[in-house]
Structure 1
């Protein structure tokens, strides 16, 4: 549940809990307790628990930036209250540096690349996920089909589809259009890379830690025509001389599998836990 939706739903969730179990009993954290809070709730937490120790889990650096600005307007500075911060990506660490946070830790999350195995043989298929940019996605598809430069490729939307089906489509896709937007990391492009797609499109900013010219074809954020041109050029190049793009997609799959697997996540989590426990 994203931050805005969580804020809207919280009163109804609490009401449901009260109806199911009777009046909610007040809870007060002990002196040694540390409340771990998501980044969008820092103002509420500092207000509700002014004496409690806090730890902040930052999954969305953009929400964190807004929440921090809001709390500062109220005279509350999470940097003075939190014992530590956890960030799931490099852009979260960048936000920590921007705010001069010295107690930040990197907890790299996993998108389980083993669920998206690399496939060498592909179909003339271009896939995309429209969730973050639905209007732009429609425009891109309409433009590509109207211009007629896709050399027999068909375009398919991946939406409201079970994970297993998404994996199957990505394994069959030669190209994937990345429509990431304001991401902490953004895993649709990583999933496509793991499966062996040539990824063309936006990094969503946070995706820059894995989506580079060495692993795909990144396009300037929000440059819709630039994305169309880049995809058409990639299709033409692959038809004429596929070796460079094949090398890129193999390298991309290796990078994603090396950096976002479950073992990497578990190792980092245990290391951070030991560090925090010893502090």
Structure 2
């Protein structure tokens, strides 16, 4: 029995791909046979290290005992990737659920019907309402707290990931740049290790998520001891209950800048420690592993048969193009 995760080949930092790879690593550590499936032989992601086994090919054979895990962004009506196979839709963002689905037909219309996995309480609740006939399991995201941790020094700087709100960041960059007290560290195209180093040193992380189901950079910033100022953006609401988070009304750049400057000028080391402890209680590898193994057991109890599976890369590329992410052909 092999658990096969279909992954898109993206050349730019995308947190959801790292989550797929981390699931494979956790399952292998737990004794399962699990692989990350990419179409291109020898493909490696340029922005993080993938320690788990890889599988390549546009099409593969899936046995009756296998479990195929598919991202929500590669699902199109009338294009089931592996008819008859046992499948899971790993939905990392409920806002993306219908990005490549242009039909009023029942979703996803597969036989046998798949299980669904979610990454946050908000996302699980939305998905349970959207697909009440399918089992929805919550598998919370994990943070590598050995990598994302406070550094040896803490600088009076502000870290920003502008990718999801480039137009708003253009305003923020000017507004923050007009204040001599603020130094901005822009995290664009950075590797996982580079991001961890900056978050471990900086004082405030600006949450510029957009229509999130969770918001992994916010969790990593909290684990690194950063104060977080910005937008919950939907599913990130639970993260903004953590110590050291400061919510600002969506798309209010002046209010956001004012709050950044206020928090930057009032650091609290006790709160930084509490932020990290909050993450360590809820989003460690151990917490994720326990939930993932339970979700796998539920999925494996459902029916499945041998099938030929086609990698949903084309639909993933269609989604990436719409989002301006860019994917490797």
* TM-score tier (shorter): 0.7 to 0.9
Does the CA contact (< 8 Å) of 2:91 and 2:118 recur in 1?
A: yes
Q: Which segment drifts farther, 114-123 or 132-141?
A: 114-123
Q: Work out whether 1:103 is the aligned partner of 2:126.
A: no
* Greater relative contact order (CA < 8 Å, ≥ 6 in sequence): 2
TM-score (norm 2): 0.65
Residue number in structure 1 paired with 2:274:
251
Residue number in structure 1 paired with 2:30:
none
Greater share of helix residues, 1 or 2?
1
> Partners in 1 of 2:94 and 2:173 — Cα distance?
30
Matched position secondary structure for 1:37: strand
Does the CA contact (< 8 Å) of 2:77 and 2:108 recur in 1?
A: no
Q: Work out whether 1:166 is the aligned partner of 2:198.
A: no
Q: Which runs of 5+ in 2 are unaligned?
A: 1-6, 12-37, 42-56, 303-329
Q: Work out whether 1:38 is the aligned partner of 2:71.
A: yes
Larger Rg: 1
> Partners in 2 of 1:31 and 1:271 — Cα distance?
20
129, 139, 144: which is aligned to 1:112? 144
> Partners in 2 of 1:172 and 1:26 — Cα distance?
44
Q: Deviations over 1:242-266 (max 9, x none)?
A: 4xx4443322211122222222222
Does the CA contact (< 8 Å) of 1:124 and 1:173 recur in 2?
A: yes
Does the CA contact (< 8 Å) of 2:87 and 2:299 recur in 1?
A: no
Q: Work out whether 1:134 is the aligned partner of 2:166.
A: yes
> Partners in 1 of 2:62 and 2:215 — Cα distance?
35
Residue number in structure 2 paired with 1:268:
291
Structure 1 residue 34: Cα displacement: 5.7
Structure 1 residue 25: Cα displacement: 10
207, 212, 219: which is aligned to 2:241? 212
How many residue pairs align between the two structures? 253
Distance 1:58 1:253, change over 3 A: same
> Partners in 1 of 2:225 and 2:131 — Cα distance?
39
Q: Which segment drifts farther, 168-177 or 100-109?
A: 100-109
Q: Which segment drifts farther, 212-221 or 134-143?
A: 212-221
Distance 1:35 1:159, change over 3 A: closer
Does the CA contact (< 8 Å) of 1:179 and 1:201 recur in 2?
A: yes
Distance 1:29 1:223, change over 3 A: same
> Partners in 2 of 1:4 and 1:117 — Cα distance?
26
> Partners in 1 of 2:300 and 2:240 — Cα distance?
34
TM-score (norm 1): 0.75
RMSD: 3.3
